[in-house]
Amino acid sequence: MKRIGILTSGGDAPGMNAAVRAVARKAMAEGLEAYGINYGFAGLVAGDIHKIEAADVDGVVNQGGTLLYSARYPEFAHEEGQLKGIEQLKRFGIDALVVIGGDGSYHGALRLTEHGYNTIGLPGTIDNDIPFTDFTIGFDTAVNTDVEALDRIYDTAHSHDRTFVVEVMGRGAGDVAMWAGVSAGADAIVIPELEWDMETIANKIKHNRANGHRCNIVVLAEGVMGADEFVEKLSQYGDFDARANTIGHMQRGGRPTAKDRVLASKMGAYAIELLLSGKGGLAVGIQNNQLVTHNMLDLFDSKHKAELSLSKLNEEISFH
Amino acid sequence: MKRIGILTSGGDAPGMNAAVRAVARKAMAEGLEAYGINYGFAGLVAGDIHKIEAADVDGVVNQGGTLLYSARYPEFAHEEGQLKGIEQLKRFGIDALVVIGGDGSYHGALRLTEHGYNTIGLPGTIDNDIPFTDFTIGFDTAVNTDVEALDRIYDTAHSHDRTFVVEVMGRGAGDVAMWAGVSAGADAIVIPELEWDMETIANKIKHNRANGHRCNIVVLAEGVMGADEFVEKLSQYGDFDARANTIGHMQRGGRPTAKDRVLASKMGAYAIELLLSGKGGLAVGIQNNQLVTHNMLDLFDSKHKAELSLSKLNEEISFH
Amino acid sequence: MKRIGILTSGGDAPGMNAAVRAVARKAMAEGLEAYGINYGFAGLVAGDIHKIEAADVDGVVNQGGTLLYSARYPEFAHEEGQLKGIEQLKRFGIDALVVIGGDGSYHGALRLTEHGYNTIGLPGTIDNDIPFTDFTIGFDTAVNTDVEALDRIYDTAHSHDRTFVVEVMGRGAGDVAMWAGVSAGADAIVIPELEWDMETIANKIKHNRANGHRCNIVVLAEGVMGADEFVEKLSQYGDFDARANTIGHMQRGGRPTAKDRVLASKMGAYAIELLLSGKGGLAVGIQNNQLVTHNMLDLFDSKHKAELSLSKLNEEISFH
Amino acid sequence: MKRIGILTSGGDAPGMNAAVRAVARKAMAEGLEAYGINYGFAGLVAGDIHKIEAADVDGVVNQGGTLLYSARYPEFAHEEGQLKGIEQLKRFGIDALVVIGGDGSYHGALRLTEHGYNTIGLPGTIDNDIPFTDFTIGFDTAVNTDVEALDRIYDTAHSHDRTFVVEVMGRGAGDVAMWAGVSAGADAIVIPELEWDMETIANKIKHNRANGHRCNIVVLAEGVMGADEFVEKLSQYGDFDARANTIGHMQRGGRPTAKDRVLASKMGAYAIELLLSGKGGLAVGIQNNQLVTHNMLDLFDSKHKAELSLSKLNEEISFH
d(CA D177, CA D174): 5
- Distance (Å, whole) CA D268 – CA D66: 14
A268 contacts C62? CB cut-off 8 A: no
> Tens of pLDDT along D118-176?
999 999 999 999 999 999 999 999 999 999 999 999 999 999 999 999 999 999 999 99
Chain C neighbors of A179, CB-CB under 8 A: 258, 262
Residue-level pLDDT, tens digit, chain B, 320 residues: 999 999 999 999 999 999 999 999 999 999 999 999 999 999 999 999 999 999 999 999 999 999 999 998 999 999 999 999 999 999 999 999 999 999 889 999 999 999 999 999 999 999 999 999 999 999 999 999 999 999 999 999 999 999 999 999 999 999 999 999 999 999 999 999 999 999 999 999 999 999 999 899 999 999 999 999 999 999 999 999 999 999 999 999 999 999 999 999 999 999 999 999 999 999 999 999 999 999 999 999 899 999 999 999 999 999 98
**Cβ-based neighbours of C64, under 8 Å, separated by 6 or more:** C12, C14, C17, C141, C252, C253, C254, C255, C256, D152, D155, D156
Residues of B in contact with A161 (CB under 8 A): 69, 71
CB contact at 8 A, D98 and D271? yes
Q: Is C315 exposed, middle or buried (0-12, 13-18, 19+ CB in 10 A)?
A: middle
Give the CA angle between residues A182, A246, A202 to the nearest 5°.
60
Residue A162 annotated in ligand binding = yes
Which one from D12, D48, D58, D127 is the annotated catalytic residue? D127
Instruction: Judge whether D14 is closer than 8 Å to chain C, CB to CB.
Output: yes
Residue type, position C269, single letter: A
Residue A290, chain C, CB below 8 Å: the answer is yes
Q: Does any CB of chain D come closer than 8 Å to the CB of residue C248?
A: yes
Q: Sort out which chain D residues have CB atoms less than 8 A from B59's CB and list them.
A: 154, 158, 185
Residue C14 touches partner D, C-beta closer than 8 Å: yes
Q: What is the pLDDT of residue D127?
A: 98
pLDDT at C60 over 90: yes
Q: Start-end ranges of CATH 3.40.50.460 in chain A?
A: 140-250
Q: What is the CATH number of domain C3-138+257-301?
A: 3.40.50.450
C71 touches chain D (CB under 8 A): yes
Instruction: Specify whether the CB–CB gap between A218 and A163 falls below 8 A.
Output: yes
Q: Are residues C33 and C27 in contact, defined by beta-carbon separation less than 8 angstroms? A: yes
Q: Where are the beta strands (DSSP E) in chain B?
A: 3-9, 33-37, 49-52, 96-101, 119-123, 163-168, 188-190, 216-221, 242-246, 282-287, 290-295
Are the Cβ atoms of D25 and B144 closer than 8 angstroms?
no
Q: For residue A75, give how far its alpha carbon lies from the nearest alpha carbon of chain C (Å).
A: 34
User: What pLDDT was estimated at residue C171?
Assistant: 96
| Interchain proximity C316–A134, CB inside 8 Å | no
C217-232 pLDDT, tens digit per residue, is: 999 999 999 999 999 9
What digits encode the pLDDT tens for the residues D178-220? 999 999 999 999 999 999 999 999 999 999 999 999 899 999 9
Q: What is the pLDDT of residue B103?
A: 85
Count CA atoms within 13 Å of residue D184 on its CB side.
Answer: 35
| C-alpha dist (Å) from residue D189 to A160, B105, D163 | 35, 35, 13
Residue numbers belonging to the annotated binding site of C for ATP: 11, 72-73, 102-105
The pLDDT value given to residue C269: 98
Per-residue confidence at D298, pLDDT binned at 50, 70, 90? very high
Chains within contact range of chain C (3+ C-beta pairs < 8 Å):
A, D
Say if B48 is an interface residue toward chain A (CB within 8 Å): no
Sign of the C-alpha dihedral computed for residues B211, B217, B222 and B227 taken in this order: positive
Note the ipTM here: 0.97
**Contact flag C54-A22 (C-beta cutoff 8 Å):** no
Confidence at residue A50, expressed as pLDDT on a 0 to 100 scale? 98
Report whether pLDDT(D104) > 90.
no
Chains touching D, CB cut-off 8 Å, 3+ pairs: B, C
Q: Cβ–Cβ of C154/A62 closer than 8 Å?
A: yes
Best A317, A318, A320 residue to mutate vs chain C (most C CBs within 10 Å) = A317
| E-assigned strand segments in D124-194 | 163-168, 188-190
Asked if the C-beta of C32 comes within 8 angstroms of chain A's C-beta atoms, the answer is no
Q: Which DSSP symbol is given to D22?
A: H
Catalytic residue numbers of C read 127
B54 touches chain A (CB under 8 A): no
Q: Which residue of A has its CA nearest to C256?
A: A183
For B226-238, give one letter per residue: b (16+ CB within 10 A) or e: ebeebbeebeeee
What percentage of chain D has pLDDT greater than the value 90? 98
Q: What is the pLDDT of residue D232?
A: 98
Interface contact B58, partner A, CB < 8 A = no
Rounded to the nearest angstrom, the minimum Cα separation between D87 and chain B is 30
**In chain A, pLDDT over 70 holds for what percent of residues?**
100
Distance from the Cα of D75 to chain B's closest Cα (Å) equals 34
- What is the distance between the alpha carbons of residues B297 and B295, in angstroms, rounded to a whole number? 5
Q: What percent of chain C stands above pLDDT 70?
A: 100
| Chain C residues near residue D149 by CB distance under 8 angstroms | 250
What is the reported pLDDT for A103?
A: 85
Residue to substitute from D159, D162, D231, D246, interface C, most C β-carbons within 10 A: D159
**Are A164 and A245 spatial neighbours (Cβ–Cβ below 8 Å)?**
yes
Residues 150-179 in B contacting D (C-alpha not used; CB under 8 Å): 151, 154, 158, 179
DSSP for B278-310 reads: T--SEEEEEETTEEEEEEHHHHHT------THH
Give me the residues paired with residue A283 across strands.
A121, A294
CA distance, residue C8 to nearest chain A CA (Å): 19
What is the per-residue pLDDT for D72? 86
In total, the C-beta contacts within 8 angstroms joining chain B to chain D are: 144
Contact C253 D70 (CB under 8 A): no
Q: What is the CATH number of domain C140-250?
A: 3.40.50.460
In the complex, which subunits touch A with 3 or more CB pairs below 8 angstroms?
Answer: B, C
Mean pLDDT, all residues of chain C: 97
pLDDT for A72: 86
Q: Which of A65, A69, A245 sits opposite B248 (nearest CB)?
A: A245
Q: In what order do the strands lie in the sheet with C49-52?
A: C49-52, C33-37, C3-9, C96-101, C119-123, C282-287, C290-295
User: pLDDT band for position A2 (50/70/90)?
Assistant: very high
Q: Among all residues of B, which ones are annotated catalytic? A: 127
**What are the φ and ψ backbone dihedral angles of B263, each rounded to 5 degrees?**
-60, -45
Confirm or reject contact between A184 and chain C (CB < 8 A).
yes
**Residue A248 annotated as lining a ligand binding site:** no
| Cα radius of gyration (chain C) | 21
What pLDDT is stored for residue A98 in this prediction? 98
Considering only CB atoms, which chain B residues are within 8 Å of D211?
A: 54-55
At residue C72, does pLDDT exceed 90? no
What single-letter amino acid sits at A38?
A: N
C252 with D152: Cβ contact below 8 A: yes
Would you say residue A211 has pLDDT above 90?
yes
pLDDT at D103 over 90: no
Q: How near does any CA of chain C get to the CA of D51, in Å?
A: 19
CB atoms C316 and A26 under 8 Å: yes
Nearest to B259 among D54, D146, D259 (CB): D259
**In the sheet where B282-287 sits, what is the strand order?**
B49-52, B33-37, B3-9, B96-101, B119-123, B282-287, B290-295
Q: In chain B, list all ranges with CATH 3.40.50.450.
A: 3-138+257-301
